[in-house]
Chain A
């Protein structure tokens, strides 16, 4: 079964509203989670690294005030798209590594969230 759960799977919102996407690790603790964005027929682009108990690390070109990340617990990270606009419409995917004493553990992905901004 899924070890990383992402919710909602689909969301449609009006321009100017904010949308929150949740990413949960189901049977392991994740001090780090990753948020990706995927455009149609393109690869995954890392947006930010979510760190439990501290600020997220954003990749170059990603607006941190636009994409708010909160990693309040060892099993939950949230991505909030603030004041969404049509150009924010995309497929957002989270992932979490399940490590056991090293950095070679498996990286598990959520099912993704399709955001459509009207």
Chain B
């Protein structure tokens, strides 16, 4: 069975500092990986995805993620955090040859950026 692990419930970072939100996954076959962000009482907003190609994927709002096949990781990064980045972040995975009904989400990591 596929799974996603986000080992940190919360990540705290000061504004202007780099941030990393960790994600590891387990899936049969090639992975199709996503990061989404959720603001309070809102739906999920797409940040970025990885299918194939360059291991470093650039997404919305200055975020990027690095796919590491050997470590089965897809950590989310941003060089300089903003207070407005404070939100709940979800990593998700499905097998590339499966449908969206198999999309599995991590439990989420709350990012708090202090001024």
Q: Which of A14-22, A43-51, A63-71 touches B?
A: A43-51
Does A84 make an interface contact (CB < 8 A)?
no
Interface size on A, residues (CB 8 A): 26
| Cβ contact within 8 Å between A107 and B103 | yes
Contact A32 B44, CB 8 Å, known A104-B32, A109-B36: no
With a cutoff of 8 Å between Cβ atoms, the chain B residues found around residue A97 in the complex are: 100
Q: What 10 new A-B contacts, CB under 8 Å, besides A4-B43, A107-B100? A: A46-B103, A91-B41, A93-B43, A103-B99, A103-B100, A104-B51, A106-B49, A107-B46, A109-B45, A109-B46
Contact with B along A31-64 (1 / 0, CB 8 A): 0101000000111101001000000010000000
Which of under 10, 10 to 19, 20 to 34, or 35 or more describes the interface residues of B? Answer: 20 to 34
Within 8 A of A (CB), among B80-113: 90, 96, 98-101, 103, 105-108
Residue of B nearest to A111 (CB): B43
How many whole Å from A42's CB to the nearest CB in chain B?
Answer: 7
| Cβ contact within 8 Å between B43 and A46 | no
